């Protein structure tokens, strides 16, 4: 990929002298979904696919952006003097938002930038192409302009820009997983205080298979923001009876004892998911440490049921993929992953069952939904870097 983005850069800007190429990964979340804005735990890992950027400082204050994924848009121009979200060419709002967030923290770019980008995360798949773009942009700024920022800071800046520049009230998980990724490890992150621990993913004869439903339902962002505000209201209601900072502070028993304070049935379900999912995640990581992959898989399955029934962020296509996965011998666990309403499922599948898994789930998906699914046997990779 490095060569491809460099070549494109040369075609567009005449030469590639002094151009650097950078990479930041996408992520898949194994368990702990919709807990990251509730002060709960998540357990994602960085992938080896992600976003590549060729970048070089300019001598003026202009910005140019080119995405090899959206060739039809051509070179999109901007300026350091106008870091506001654009309606057209929306992808450029991600790097622009990061530049804006850096400037807001006193890290002003003195000169403009030419950026050529290529991403190999399937678009709209829920594997965090936007977070990887935010993190790679932050890494470019850190490296080219000498800004002193840690990778955790890059994650926070990415989330801040996505919330405040792009209007998506995401939590910190995706940016954290991309910025802090470590080969062959998942990240057990407590979003209440950002303490984290790497957990080696020793799957002993099993693989992580990501299945792309190839559907992305509209209104994803508004539905996501709605879930988030439902949880916030439920938290305020609970805070009238119990002293907590986030839903992640509650055990299941405490939740059951206090849930009467929540004044709508829908909100009880949303909060229940957040509380139970957090506890499931803690248990799942302990199970992994005990080499109890079976329990890990059962918790993944329970996570799916909760996201489907209580949190209502699944959809027919994803439910079909998960149900069909559960039927295959050698599947340890399978669930929706990411924000929901389409995108991907994540499954842990015994080595010898991977081919059967693809055949059976793929065929059933065509038969029941009339669409083709894509399968990726993924590897866990490192965080952002200059290549």
State the residues that interact with ligand GLA by CB under 6 A: 33-34, 36-37, 170-171, 173-174, 338-339
Closer to ligand GLA by Cβ: residue 16 or 132: 132
Tokens of 12: 């567009």
C-alpha angle 26-32-34 in degrees, rounded to nearest 5: 85
* Shortest separation between residue 99's beta carbon and ligand GLA, angstroms: 20
Nearer to ligand GLA, 174 or 324 (CB): 174
Taking the least distance from each CB to ligand GLA, the nearer of 131 and 332 is 131
d(CA 130, CA 118): 12
What residues form DSSP beta bridges with 116? Answer: 54, 66
How far apart are the C-alpha atoms of 50 and 118, rounded to whole Å? 9
Residue 95: its H or E element: helix 93-104
Rounded to 5 degrees, φ, ψ at 136 are -65, -40
Q: How far is CA 221 from CA 25, 162, 225, 250, 286, in A?
A: 22, 11, 6, 27, 32
In order, the DSSP letters of 155-196 are HHHHHHHHHHTS-----SHHHHHHHH-BTTEEEEEETTTTEE
Smallest gap from Cβ 254 to ligand GLA, in A, equals 22
**Residue 303 backbone dihedrals phi, psi, to 5 degrees:** -60, -45
Q: How far is the CB of 285 from ligand GLA (least distance, A)?
A: 16
Q: Is the CB of 33 or the CB of 324 nearer to ligand GLA?
A: 33
Q: Which residues on neighbouring strands pair with residue 22, listed in sequence order? A: 53, 386
Q: Minimal distance in Å, beta carbon 33 to ligand GLA? A: 4
Distance, CA of 309 to chain centre: 22
Which of 30/206 has CB closer to ligand GLA? 30
Catalytically annotated residue among 36, 114, 174, 310: 174
- Sequence-separated contacts (24+) of 1-6 with Cβ below 8 Å: 1/52, 1/118, 1/120, 2/52, 2/387, 4/52, 4/68, 4/118, 5/52, 5/53, 5/54, 5/68, 5/116, 5/117, 5/118, 6/54
- Mapping DSSP onto H, E and C, the string for 17-55 reads CCCEEEEEEEEEECCCCCCCCCCCEECEEEEEEEEEEEE
Concerning whether 174 is annotated as a catalytic residue, the answer is: yes
Minimum gap (Å) between residue 37 Cβ and ligand GLA? 6
Least CB distance from residue 213 to ligand GLA, whole Å?
15
Residue closer to ligand GLA by CB (options 297, 338) is 338
Q: At closest approach, how far in Å is the CB of 74 from ligand GLA?
A: 29
Output 47 or 76, the one with its CB closest to ligand GLA: 47
CB atoms within 10 A of CB 257: 12
DSSP classification of residue 88: S
Residues taking part in catalysis:
174
């Amino acid at each position: 990929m490095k060569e491809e983005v460099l070549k494109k850069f040369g075609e567009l800007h005449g030469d590639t002298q002094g151009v650097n190429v950078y990479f930041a990964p996408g992520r898949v979340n194994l368990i702990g979904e919709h807990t990251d804005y509730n002060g709960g735990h998540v357990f994602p890992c960085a992938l080896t696919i992600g976003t590549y950027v060729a970048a070089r400082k300019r001598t003026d204050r202009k910005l140019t952006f080119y995405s090899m994924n959206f060739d039809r848009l051509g070179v999109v121009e901007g300026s350091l003097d106008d870091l506001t979200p654009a309606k057209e060419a929306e992808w450029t709002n991600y790097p622009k938002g990061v530049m804006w967030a850096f400037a807001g923290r006193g890290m002003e770019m003195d000169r403009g930038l030419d950026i050529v980008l290529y991403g190999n995360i399937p678009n709209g798949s829920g594997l965090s192409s936007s977070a990887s773009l935010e993190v790679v942009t932050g890494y470019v700024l850190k490296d080219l302009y000498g800004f002193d920022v840690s990778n955790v800071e890059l994650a926070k800046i990415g989330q801040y820009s996505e919330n405040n520049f792009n209007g998506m009230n995401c939590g910190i998980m995706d940016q954290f997983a991309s910025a802090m990724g470590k080969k062959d490890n998942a990240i057990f992150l407590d979003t209440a205080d950002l303490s984290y621990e790497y957990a080696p993913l020793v799957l002993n004869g099993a693989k992580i298979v990501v299945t792309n439903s190839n559907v992305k339902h509209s209104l994803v962002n508004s539905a996501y923001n709605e879930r988030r505000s439902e949880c916030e209201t439920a938290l305020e209601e609970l805070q009238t009876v119990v002293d907590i900072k986030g839903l992640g502070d509650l055990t299941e028993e405490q939740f059951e004892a206090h849930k009467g304070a929540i004044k709508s049935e829908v909100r009880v379900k949303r909060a229940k998911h957040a509380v139970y999912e957090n506890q499931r995640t803690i248990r799942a990581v302990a199970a992994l440490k005990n080499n109890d992959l079976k329990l890990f898989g059962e918790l993944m399955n329970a996570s799916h049921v909760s996201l489907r029934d209580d949190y209502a962020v699944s959809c027919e296509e994803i439910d079909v993929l998960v149900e069909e996965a559960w039927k295959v011998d050698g599947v340890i666990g399978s669930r929706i992953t990411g924000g929901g309403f389409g995108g991907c499922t994540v499954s842990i599948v015994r080595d010898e069952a991977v081919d059967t898994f693809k055949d059976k789930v793929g065929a059933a998906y065509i038969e029941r939904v009339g669409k083709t699914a894509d399968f990726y046997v993924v590897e866990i990779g490192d965080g952002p870097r200059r290549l």
